[in-house]
Structure 1
Amino acid sequence: MLWWALFIIIIVNGLLALITVFREPRDIAATWAWILVLIFIPVIGFLIYSFAGRKLPQRQLFAYQDQDISEIEKLIRKRMADGPGPSVPEKVALLPRSAQSLVTLFQRINKTPLATNNQVRLLTSGQDFFDRLKRSLREAQSSINLEFYTFYSDEIGHEILDILVERAKAGVEVHVLYDSLGSTGTTLRFFAPLRAVGGHAVPFLKRRFNIVNFQLNFRDHRKIAVIDGKVGYVGGFNIGDQYLGRKKKFGHWRDTHLKMVGSGVYYLQAHFLLDWNASALTKPMHVSEEHYFPELPDYKLGNADLQIVTSGPDSDDEQIKMGYIRLIQLAKKRCWIQTPYLIPDDSTIDALRIAANSGVDVRIMIPCMPDHMFVYRATQYFASQLVKDGIKVYCYNNGFLHAKTMVVDDQLSSVGSANFDFRSFKLNFEANAFLYDKEIAQQLAAQYEKDIECSTEQTVDSFAAQSRWLRFKQVFSRLLAPIL
Structure 2
Amino acid sequence: MEFGIPHLFGYLIALTHVLGVVAAIHAVLSVRTAQGAIAWAIALLFMPYLTLLPYLVFGRSTFDAYIQARRQANREMQLAMADLNWRPWIEEAQAAQRSEYFGSLRALPRLSPMPLLANNQVRLLIDGEATFAAIFAAIASARKVVLVQFFIVHDDQLGRRLQQLLLERAAAGVEVYLLYDGIGSHALPSHYSERLRAGGVQVRTFATRRGLLNRFQVNFRNHRKIVVVDGERGFVGGHNVGDEYLGRQPPLAPWRDTHIELQGPVLACLQESFAEDWFWATRQLPPLILPAAYPSRGMLCQVLVSGPADAQETCSLFFAEAIHAARRRVWITTPYFIPDEAVFAALRLAVMRGVDVRILLPARPDHRVVYAASSLYAFEALRAGVRIFRYQPGFLHQKVLLIDADTSAIGSANLDNRSFRLNFEIMLLTFDSTFSGEVQRMLEEDFSHAHELAAGDDQQIARLRQLGMRVARLISPIL
Q: TM-score, normalised by structure 2?
A: 0.93
Distance 1:240 1:348, change over 3 A: same
Shifted more, 212-221 versus 179-188: the winner is: 212-221
The amino acid across from 1:285 in the alignment is L
Q: Provide the secondary structure at the position in 2 that maps to 1:118.
A: strand
SS of residue paired to 1:400:
coil
Per the alignment, in what secondary structure is the counterpart of residue 156 of structure 1? Answer: helix
Indicate which of 75, 80, 100 corresponds to 2:103.
100
SS at match of 1:403: coil
**Cα displacement (A) at 1:460:** 1.7
Q: Which residue of 2 aligns with 1:295?
A: 291
From 155, 162, 180, the counterpart of 1:153: 155
Deviations 1:178-228 (A, max 9, x none): 012211311332122221122111110265365457533221110111111
Aligned residue for 1:219? 221
Which residue of structure 2 lines up, in the alignment, with residue 69 of structure 1? Answer: 78
Residue correspondence of structure 1 range 404-415 to structure 2 within 5 A: 404-415=399-410
Q: How does 1:56-455 map to 2 (within 5 A)?
A: 56=63, 57=65, 58-61=67-70, 64=73, 66-70=75-79, 72=81, 79-81=88-90, 87-96=92-101, 99-102=102-105, 104-205=106-207, 208=210, 211-212=213-214, 214-281=216-283, 284-285=284-285, 292-297=288-293, 299-300=295-296, 302-455=297-450
Does the 8 Å contact 1:60/1:208 carry over to 2? no
- Tell me by how many angstroms 1:15 deviates: 3.3
Shift of 1:256: 1.0
Change in CA separation of 1:296 and 1:306 when aligned onto 2, cut-off 3 Å: farther
Q: Deviations over 1:98-149 (max 9, x none)?
A: x4252x5232232121121110001111100010011001001111111100
The SS at the match of 1:414 is strand
> Any gaps of 5 or more consecutive residues in structure 2?
1-5
- Cα distance in 2 for residues equivalent to 1:442 and 1:65: 37
Name the stretch that deviates more: 457-466 or 14-23.
Answer: 14-23
C-alpha spacing 1:381/1:212, structure 2 compared with 1 (3 Å): closer
Whole-angstrom CA distance in 2 between matches of 1:214 and 1:248? 28
Q: Deviations over 1:324-343 (max 9, x none)?
A: 11110111111000000000
Distance change >3 Å, CA 6–CA 156, structure 1 → 2? closer
Task: Please tell me whether the aligned partners of residues 266 and 301 of structure 2 are also in contact (alpha carbons under 8 angstroms).
Answer: yes
**Deviation at residue 18 of structure 1 after TM alignment:** 3.2
Displacement, 1:23? Answer: 3.8
| TM-fit CA distance, 1:476 | 1.1
CA distance in 1, matches of 2:304, 2:85: 16
Question: Cα gap change, 1:61/1:71 in structure 2, threshold over 3 Å: closer, same or farther?
Answer: closer
Moved more, 8-17 or 310-319: 8-17
Provide the alpha-carbon RMSD of the alignment.
Answer: 2.2
Number of residue pairs matched by the alignment: 470
Q: Which runs of 5+ in 1 are unaligned?
A: none
Shift of 1:428: 0.8
Task: Tell me how far apart the structure 2 counterparts of residues 462 and 206 of structure 1 sit (CA, whole Å).
Answer: 42
One-letter code of the match for 2:93?
A: V
> Hey, what's the Cα distance between the residues in 2 that align with 1:11 and 1:206?
30
The normalised TM-score by structure 1 is 0.92
**1:286-329, CA deviations, whole angstroms, 9 ceiling, x for partnerless residues?**
5xx5xx231352542x4211111111111251212211111101
Distance in 1 of aligned mates of 2:100 and 2:142: 34
- Call closer, same or farther: CA 1:402–1:167 in 2, change over 3 Å: same
CA contact (8 A) 2:170 2:199 kept: yes
Structure 1 position 60, deviation (Å): 3.2
Distance 1:249 1:316, change over 3 A: farther
* Corresponding letter in the other structure for 1:39: L
- Aligned residues: percent identity? 33
How far the C-alpha of 1:415 sits from its partner, in A, is 0.3
The answer (yes or no) to whether the contact 1:217–1:427 under 8 Å persists in 2 is yes
Structure 1 residue aligned with 2:3: none
